[in-house]
Amino acid sequence: MTDTTNENTVQEENKLIAERRAKLEKLRENCSANGHPNDFRREHLAGELKAEHGEKDKDALAAEGIRVSVAGRVMRRGGPFVGIQDSSDSIQFYMAKPLQKESDAWQLLDIGDIVGVSGVLHKSGKGELYVDIDQLDNLTILTKSLRPLPDKHHGLADQEMKYRQRYVDLIINDETRKTFLMRSKIIEGIRFFLSQRGFVEVETPMLQTIPGGASAKPFETHHNAMGIDMFLRIAPELYLKRLVVGGFDKVFEINRNFRNEGTSTRHNPEFTMIEFYQAYATYHDLMDTTEAMLKFIAETVLGATTIEYGESTYDFGSTFQRMTMVEAILKYNTGMDEAVLRDAENNLETLKEYAKSVGIHLGPKEAGWGAGKLICEIFEETAESKLDQPTFITEYPWEVSPLARRNDENPFVTDRFEFFVGGRELANGFSELNDAEDQAARFRKQVEEKDAGDDEAMHYDDDYVRALEYGLPPTAGEGIGIDRLVMLFTNSHTIKDVILFPHMKPLAD
| CATH number where 57 lies | 2.40.50.140
Question: Which residues make Cβ contacts (< 8 Å) with residue 160, sequence separation at least 6?
Answer: 504
Q: What is the mean pLDDT of residues 263-269?
A: 90
User: In the chain, pLDDT over 90 holds for what percent of residues?
Assistant: 84
| Per-residue pLDDT at 116 | 97
Q: 255 - beta bridge partners?
A: 273
* Cα of 94 vs its chain's centroid, Å: 40
Residue 161 lies in a domain: no
Residue 154 binned pLDDT confidence (cut-offs 50, 70, 90): low
Residue 109 lies in a domain: yes
Residue 155 binned pLDDT confidence (cut-offs 50, 70, 90): low
Residue 273 lies in a domain: no
Phi, psi of 248 (to 5 degrees): -85, 100
Distance CA(364)–CA(380), nearest Å, equals: 20
425 is in an annotated binding site: yes
End-to-end CA distance of the chain: 18
Residue 49 lies in a domain: yes
What's the per-residue H, E or C state across 421-447?
ECCEEEEEEEEECCCHHHHHHHHHHHH
Label the pairing between strands 200-201 and 67-78: unpaired
| Per-residue pLDDT at 6 | 64
* Cα of 96 vs its chain's centroid, Å: 46
User: In the chain, pLDDT over 70 holds for what percent of residues?
Assistant: 97
pTM above 0.75, yes or no: yes
**What stretches of 31-140 show up as alpha helix (H) in DSSP?**
46-53, 58-64, 97-102, 104-107
Q: What is the mean pLDDT of residues 89-118?
A: 96
Residue type, 251: V
**Residue 365 carries which DSSP code?**
G
**Residue 219 carries which DSSP code?**
P
DSSP reduced 3-state for 139: strand
Residue 105 lies in a domain: yes
Q: 267 - beta bridge partners?
A: 264
Query: Does residue 449 contact residue 465 with C-beta atoms inside 8 Å?
Result: no
| Per-residue pLDDT at 153 | 57
Residue 408 lies in a domain: no
Distance CA(209)–CA(211), nearest Å, equals: 7
Residue type, 116: G
Residue type, 47: G
- pLDDT above 90 for 160: no
DSSP output for 249-268: SEEEEEEEEE--S--BTTB-
Q: What is the mean pLDDT of residues 413-437?
A: 96
Q: What is the pLDDT of residues 369-382, one digit of tens each?
A: 999 999 999 999 99
Q: What is the pLDDT of residues 287-326, one digit of tens each?
A: 999 999 999 999 999 999 999 999 999 999 999 999 999 9
85: containing domain? 12-143
Query: What is the Cβ-side half-sphere exposure of residue 32, based on CA atoms within 13 angstroms?
Result: 1
Q: What is the mean pLDDT of residues 113-127?
A: 96
Greater pLDDT, 75 or 6: 75
Distance CA(180)–CA(487), nearest Å, equals: 11
Query: Does residue 251 contact residue 243 with C-beta atoms inside 8 Å?
Result: yes
Q: Which of 118, 62, 65, 57 is nearest to 93 (CA)?
A: 118
| Per-residue pLDDT at 173 | 92
- pLDDT above 70 for 3: no
345 is in an annotated binding site: no
Distance CA(70)–CA(63), nearest Å, equals: 20
| Per-residue pLDDT at 158 | 77
Q: In what order do the strands lie in the sheet with 424-431?
A: 200-201, 250-258, 270-279, 475-481, 424-431, 416-421, 391-394, 321-324
Query: Does residue 254 contact residue 191 with C-beta atoms inside 8 Å?
Result: yes
- pLDDT above 70 for 53: yes
Q: Which of 441, 490, 488, 446 is nearest to 468 (CA)?
A: 441
- pLDDT above 70 for 16: yes
Residue 56 lies in a domain: yes
| Per-residue pLDDT at 505 | 87
Q: What is the mean pLDDT of residues 155-181?
A: 89
Distance CA(183)–CA(168), nearest Å, equals: 19
- pLDDT above 60 for 274: yes
Greater pLDDT, 265 or 326: 326
Q: What is the mean pLDDT of residues 48-73?
A: 96
Residue 458 binned pLDDT confidence (cut-offs 50, 70, 90): confident
- pLDDT above 70 for 198: yes
Please, is 21 exposed, middle or buried when counting C-beta atoms within 10 Å of its C-beta (0-12, 13-18, 19+)? exposed
Please, is 419 exposed, middle or buried when counting C-beta atoms within 10 Å of its C-beta (0-12, 13-18, 19+)? buried
Residue 70 lies in a domain: yes
**Total structural domains in the chain?**
1
